[in-house]
């Protein structure tokens, strides 16, 4: 059904008032679209939200002061979700006006769109006809973000495209393995690997694993994740390492997770 909907390129408009169940608020609309529907005068943006407070409060994302998300909690690529994340598994982005934009992350006052506590603010610059992900991580005064431009070309049949991002604040660099094979190594905090291709699976899926750079392939992993959904034919993914090494609670422990770019 999802593939069928994409083939006819539906444009879905979601009203925030409905999404968050408020009885009265201004009519803010979020527009979702396949990349082909975005004109050369528009940009697209996704927010990979990983600001992981222990209490894990529900937050809102605002763009130039306008709320553009429902309440989110940590490990949520919005819109679209991902694998080993919250949300679903669509390759959705938000349409955005190109140029300089202010992004803010805040806890709203209960039942309103008004900021109660602003957790983070930053500015991003986007270009028309391009798609981006703003990755957000850590907490309090150490909160950081960085912007990646996403490749929306489609891989050849039989292949899958990946990029690996390190969002682990207390791990200087991370290696990514598939099974016992090093796929990409020495990805420093707040940076991304080059894109790389892998053939689709011809056997059962095995574990994706992250380890501190320099660790032996047989050493204890920071995190693992196994799913055949991470090898869908001609799809493009961002793989990201998040959480804190040494933590064991569900919100802040290490994860290796995925979201669809295309």
- pLDDT string in tens for the chain (262-residue length): 333 333 223 233 333 333 433 333 333 333 444 445 556 789 999 999 999 999 999 999 999 999 999 999 999 999 999 999 999 999 999 999 999 999 999 999 999 999 999 999 999 999 999 999 999 999 999 999 999 999 989 999 999 999 999 999 999 999 999 999 999 999 999 999 999 999 999 999 999 999 999 999 999 999 999 999 999 999 999 999 999 999 999 999 999 999 999 9
Give bridge partners of residue 34 from the DSSP assignment.
none
Tokens representing 200 are: 């689709």
Pairing of strands 131-137, 43-50: parallel
Classified as helix, coil or strand, 50 is strand
Tell me 59's DSSP state: B
Q: CA-CA distance, 46 to 243, in Å (whole number)?
A: 19
Task: Indicate the pairing of strand 94-96 with strand 191-192.
Answer: unpaired
Rounded to whole angstroms, the Cα distance separating 137 from 74 reads 9
Confirm if 61 and 47 have CB atoms less than 8 A apart. Answer: yes
| 260 neighbors 82 (Cβ within 8 angstroms) | yes
Cis bond upstream, residue 118 (ω within 30): no
Neighbours of 39 (CB within 10 A): 10
User: What's the predicted TM-score (pTM) here?
Assistant: 0.86
Q: Which helix (H) or strand (E) holds 212?
A: strand 208-212
């Amino acid at each position: 059904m999802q593939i069928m909907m994409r083939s006819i390129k539906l444009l879905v408009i979601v009203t925030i008032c409905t999404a968050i169940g408020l009885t009265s608020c201004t009519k803010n609309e979020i527009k979702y679209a396949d990349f082909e529907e975005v004109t050369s005068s528009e940009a697209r943006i996704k927010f990979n939200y990983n600001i992981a407070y222990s209490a894990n409060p529900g937050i809102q994302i605002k763009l130039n002061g306008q709320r553009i998300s429902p309440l989110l909690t940590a490990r949520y690529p919005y819109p679209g979700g991902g694998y080993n994340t919250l949300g679903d598994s669509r390759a959705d982005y938000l349409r955005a006006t190109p140029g300089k934009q202010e992004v803010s992350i805040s806890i709203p006052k209960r039942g309103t769109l008004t900021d109660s506590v602003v957790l983070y603010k930053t500015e991003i610059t986007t270009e028309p006809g391009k798609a981006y992900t703003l990755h957000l991580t850590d907490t309090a005064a150490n909160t950081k973000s960085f912007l990646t431009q996403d490749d929306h070309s489609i891989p050849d049949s039989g292949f899958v495209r990946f990029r690996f991002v390190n969002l682990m604040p207390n791990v200087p660099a991370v290696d990514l393995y598939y099974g016992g094979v090093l796929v990409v190594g020495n990805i420093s905090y707040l940076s991304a690997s080059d894109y790389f291709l892998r053939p689709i699976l011809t056997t059962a899926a095995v574990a994706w694993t992250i380890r501190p750079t320099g660790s032996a392939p047989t050493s204890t992993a920071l995190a693992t994740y196994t799913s055949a959904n991470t090898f869908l034919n001609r799809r493009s993914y961002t793989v990201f390492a998040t959480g804190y090494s040494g933590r064991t609670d569900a919100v802040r422990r290490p994860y290796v997770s995925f979201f669809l770019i295309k």
